[in-house]
A and B are shown apart, each in its own frame.
Chain A
Amino acid sequence: MNQGVVQAKLWYAQRISAMVLGICVAVHLVIIFYAIRGGLSAQEILGRTQGNALFAFFYEIFILACFVHAPIGMANILQETFPKSGIAKPVASTLGLFILVLGSIAVIGLYTGGAS
């Protein structure tokens, strides 16, 4: 496939994931403000999210949107800042992997209450 077509698809994926992220960030902020208004600790919050599939599902969607969105943007920035270095792809791929793995571990923690 033509390189330009791949880049056009990546651009599209980044825009769609940005729309998902916009909603996720807003919902996340509302949850945070709601959760801490009575002074709940992290442990108490985890106690409440434990076993809640809806929370796990929502945050996994959040992670997936980040996984798509951030590496594409990072690759673009690196490519324009260091055009000849060839670091854009490896660094962006590593970032994507980190977001997916660490994010998903966090979601598992959220679901299991951090016991695993």
Chain B
Amino acid sequence: MSNTNLKVKVWRGAQEGEFVEYLVPRSPNQTVLDVVTYIQRKLDPTLSYRFACRVGMCGSCAMTVNGVARWTCRTHVSKILVGDSLEIAPLNNLPVIKDLATDMREFFNKWKGAVGFFKGDKTRYDDFTKVQPNSEERQLADAGIECIGCGVCYASCEVVQSRPNYLGPAALNRAWTLTNDVRDVQQLERITAVAGDAGCHACHSQGSCTEACPKSIAPTASIAGLKKLVARAAVRGSRWGKL
């Protein structure tokens, strides 16, 4: 196995650029991130890419590999190889800074736009809020809580492509976990932020985000939950008030 070479086409440039082919030695248990690192260390030190933890926790190494957005540190070459070729490009739906590194600002700003952050009203002098592990809210929040913010779902979403102001699956999934957080105090603000065609109601329920999510989260289900919650709040009101 280690005698053969991989033909790896890597995107070089920014928005404008081209694929450049490199020959990388094949090794057992090689990940796509290993391949990119080999190119940068041994073949071309000018290659830019982003990674940190290498163990699937930080969410910084996502790239488009053979046309599909993936977390490269946990993607084994053997699982996705077509013949002896790999094509590695930056994530879709995000501006390219250089080579494989994209500008993630818009992606994270949309989390803010979806009020995807916690705000409580307790101080250190108050008692802890008791949340039962088997309560419905806790279970619903649990289903989406493991997001590492890698942007794979955002890059795979067709609606993000056609509606640039759409908040996207990751931000909406985060908003959904927070609507199920009984300690949070900005629920009305949040469901107003995620209402409508820039928010959850633009989702086609096509499920590309769910299919691509490396953490096996189902943002499609989270968004479906938001759609119902928000539409009901707009028409009949919710436990936090009417929109």
Contacts and interface: CB of A to CB of B under 8 A. Distances in A.
B234 interface: yes
Contact of A5 (B159, B195, B227): B195
B235 A9 contact: yes
A9 B231 contact: yes
B interface, by DSSP: helix, strand, loop or mixed? helix
A12 B163 contact: no
Contact of A7 (B162, B196, B232, B235): B196
Given A2-B192, A4-B192, A15-B231, A83 B163 contact: yes
A3 B196 contact: yes
B68 interface: no
Interface residues of A, number: 16
Interface string B227-243: 10011111100000001
A76 interface: yes
Contacts of B183: none
- Which 3 A-B pairs have CB atoms at the shortest separation, nearest pair first? A4-B196, A7-B196, A4-B195
Interface of B: 159, 162-163, 192-199, 201-202, 227, 230-235, 243
Interface of A: 2-9, 11-12, 15, 76, 79-81, 83
